[in-house]
Amino acid sequence: MIQHMQNFPLRVSEIIDYAALQHPDRKIFGRSIEGPIIETNWRDIQKDAKKFAAALIDLGVIKGDVVGVMAWNTPRQLSVWYGIPGAGAVNHTLNPRLFADQLVYIINHAEDRFLMVDFDLLPIIEDIIDQLTTVEKIIVMTDRSHMPDSKINDLLCYEELIADQPDDFNWITGDENEACGICYTSGTTGDPKGVVYTHRSNTLHALSAVAPDMLDVSSNDRIMPVVPLFHANGWSIAYAAPMVGASMVMPGRDMTPVGLFEMLELGVTFTAAVPTIWMQMLQHLDDNNLRLPTLERVIIGGASCPRSVIDKFQTKYGVQVLHAWGMTEMSPLGTVCSFKPEVMALDHEGRLDVQGTVGHAPFMINLKITDDAGNDLPWDGESQGRLLTKGAAVVQRYHKSDTDAVDADGWFDTGDVATINTNGYVRITDRSKDVIKSGGEWISSIELENCAVGHPLVAEAAAIGIPHPKWDERPILVIVAAGQKPDVAEIMALMVNKFAKWQLPDDIIFMDEIPHTATGKISKLLLRQKLADQGYELPP
Ligand code: AMP
């Protein structure tokens, strides 16, 4: 039978066009890199995106060219976010916190033709410019008066570039499966790997992200992505917000609790960041007796969120927490801990228990857990296995790889270890390479860490396995104190009720700082190195 429905390509330009048409005056606030907090709206974001797309075409950009962007979350960044794919090019997000050699690798590997950079980040590019093999021009995202002095000749000024361009540029059109963005995984070992999102995958992913059981956002929300757009596709928020016509607050580069609180006070109802940001924010709120009158929901992911953080946000500050899990390869949202009716029916403590899971998957994300031999494990909340996924916004193959990243049946191994319960709620227990194997059993490093962080004087905790002649590995806990040093016996007392004796750490040690990756996760690789350098040995 011939079908007669329209062939409507899912292109991200449709998203910004929708916002500009249906929600033109919805406010977008932002802390500009130049300093002041500015105000704009979707109409003007779209106009600037069109001007920028036109400017890119004038610069000679052709379909499929890659444009690297190293920028903080600002309104200008939103115009760039849509201007690049609107010109048919591919938006390559660059994390300024990567090591210089990783940046050189990913810029050369993705073959960026143009680089966009906030002016305060230009020194990072200056340091590596001699090693970049494909970059032709650098565009500094500011106006003429803020253009920095630089050893790089011929820098282009963004505001000058777009000033005289038409604001009615016709987006470059094409197939929905064309590349739209590229994001490299942080990769603790080996070279970073590029995930190329398509117009279709980004659109479908955002459609599933805005749903009630996911982010549940609408035009009545004011959304602040604290998570930088250069992390894991910006958690899809720069697509999800205009897709529903939400108002936005872009916090700029100031990630301090004071700076973020100032932005939250602009009427933010929904915000998103990794747990460490919120731990600092809660401390700041407590210390200064502050409240969050407009904030309704906060999505926390990227690393496991301790129960104490969830509880405090909800009980003391009246902000609902959505614990989420995902990864760059999944565009990135995989699960969100919203409440199915079975969970709604539980009491306060019961719901908090569930919030220790990362929730359930939406439509279009398929999940399963398997044992090491690849056999499916039951969804009983007990069986731990490798977490595999497939879906419309999950990677098939890394950029320029010769082989697929999925198995013969299309499943992608997330590298995480998890249980799934009868309600479909997923508990992430570890990265497969971080799981602590003691006497043939697995000990969850995440659960040990979350328990330790429940002590008010523990700022951060990392559990790792140390080789042991009899048990293979034994867990130890490394702790960063929040000011005053906590009593080891008190931390142990928190754990004895929650863990079997053989799961308890053999040692608790203190460090001034635990090493992190460029995306803010604890780097167990560097931590193990640090302990080895210090000649650490398990107590006898
Ligand atoms: P990235 O691609 O850099 O965003 O890293 C993805 C990885 O972060 C996942 O595979 C998990 O190991 C980890 N991760 C993300 N969210 C969570 C979470 N809520 N709990 C535990 N681990 C998480």
Give the residue among 241, 243, 289 at the shortest CA–CA distance from 269: 241
| Cα angle, residue 517 at apex, residues 96 and 181 outer, rounded to 5° | 50
Task: Find how far residue 456's CA is from the centre of its chain.
Answer: 26
Kindly give the number of the ligand 1 atom that is closest to the alpha carbon of 300.
Answer: 19
Cβ neighbours around 502 below 10 Å, total: 12
Structural domains of the chain ordered from first start: 7-201 (3.40.50.12780), 434-533 (3.30.300.30)
Could you tell me if the CB of 388 is within 6 A of ligand 1?
A: no
Mark out the alpha helices in 245-294 (DSSP H runs). Answer: 257-264, 275-288
Residue for token pair 């820098």: 155
Is the CB of 428 within 6 Å of ligand 1?
yes
Q: Is residue 524 flagged as an active site residue?
A: no
Q: Give yes or no for residue 325 CB within 6 A of ligand 1.
A: yes
**What pLDDT is recorded for position 2?**
82
Cα separation of the two ends of the chain: 75
Number of the ligand 1 atom closest to the C-alpha atom of 519: 3
- Supply the pLDDT for residue 504: 94
Residues of the chain with pLDDT > 70: what percent?
Answer: 99
Cα of 140 vs centre of ligand 1, distance in Å, is 32
pLDDT per residue over 264-297, tens digit each?
A: 999 999 999 999 899 999 999 999 999 999 999 9
Protein residue closest via CA to atom 7 of ligand 1: 327
Q: Which residues pair with 508 in a beta bridge?
A: 477
Of 111, 368, 370, 442, the active-site residue reads 442
- Ligand 1 near 232 CB (within 6 A): yes
Ligand 1 atom with minimal separation from the 323 CA: 19
What mean pLDDT do residues 226-234 have? 97
- If you measure from the C-alpha of residue 235 to the centroid of ligand 1, how many angstroms do you get, rounded to a whole number? 12
d(CA 152, CA 130): 10
Q: What is the mean pLDDT of residues 116-141?
A: 98
At residue 432, the pLDDT reads 85
The β-bridge partners of 272 are 225, 299
Q: How confident is the model at residue 189 (pLDDT cuts 50, 70, 90)?
A: low
Q: Is the CB of 301 under 6 A from ligand 1?
A: yes
Ligand 1 contact via 331 beta carbon (within 6 Å)? no
Indicate the pLDDT class of residue 1, thresholds 50, 70 and 90.
Answer: confident
Cα(222) to ligand 1 centroid in Å equals 25
**pLDDT value at 518 more than 90:** no
Distance (Å) from CA 151 to ligand 1 centroid: 38
pLDDT at position 241 is: 98
pLDDT of residue 460: 92
Distance in Å, CA 19 to ligand 1 centroid: 30
User: Active site includes 329?
Assistant: yes
Kind and range of the H or E element at 325? strand 320-326
Q: Answer yes or no: is the C-beta of 52 below 6 A from any ligand 1 atom.
A: no
Mean pLDDT of the chain: 95
Task: List all residues 6 or more positions away from 148 whose beta carbon is below 8 Å from its beta carbon.
Answer: 119, 122, 140
* Cα 445 to middle of ligand 1, angstroms: 14
Q: Residue 490 Cα, ligand 1 centroid: separation in angstroms?
A: 29
Atom 15 (ligand 1) nearest CA: 302
Answer whether 268 contacts ligand 1 (Cβ < 6 A): no
Distance 364 CA to ligand 1 centre (A): 19
pLDDT (tens digit per residue) in 371-417? 989 999 999 999 999 999 999 999 999 999 999 999 999 999 999 99
Residue nearest to atom 9 of ligand 1 (CA): 327
User: What pLDDT is attached to residue 188?
Assistant: 59
Q: 22-53: per-residue pLDDT in tens?
A: 999 999 999 999 999 999 999 999 999 999 99
Q: Rounded to the nearest 5 degrees, what angle is found at the Cα of 443, between the Cα atoms of 437 and 447?
A: 150
437 assigned to active site: yes
Average pLDDT on 172-192 reads: 89
Decide: 516 in ligand 1 pocket, CB within 6 A: no
From the list 40, 185, 419, 519, the catalytic residue is 185
Q: Is the pTM of this model over 0.75?
A: yes
Q: Which residue has tokens 């700076």? A: 259
Q: What is the mean pLDDT of residues 185-201?
A: 87
For residue 328, pLDDT over 80 is answered with yes
pLDDT band of 187, cuts 50, 70, 90: low
Q: Is the distance from the beta carbon of residue 416 to the nearest atom of ligand 1 less than 6 Å?
A: yes
| Mean predicted confidence (pLDDT) in 420-449 | 92
Candidates 416, 432, 433: which one to mutate for ligand 1, based on the most atoms within 8 Å of Cβ?
Answer: 416
Tell me the average pLDDT across 460-476: 93
Mutate to test the pocket of ligand 1, among 428, 449, 517 (most ligand atoms within 8 A of CB): 428
- Nearest alpha carbon to residue 519 among 329, 350, 302, 353: 302
Residue 190 confidence (pLDDT) above 80:
no
3-state SS, residue 503 = helix
pLDDT at 155 over 80: yes
Query: 487 pLDDT exceeds 80?
Result: yes
Mean pLDDT of 188-193: 78
Of 131-135, 144-148, 171-175, 527-531, where does mean pLDDT reach its minimum? 527-531
Specify the pLDDT at position 3.
Answer: 83
**CB distance 203 to ligand 1 below 6 Å:** no
Letter string b/e over residues 230-265, b meaning 16 or more CB atoms within 10 A of that residue's CB:
bbbbbbbbbbbbbbbbbbbbbbbbebebeebeebbe
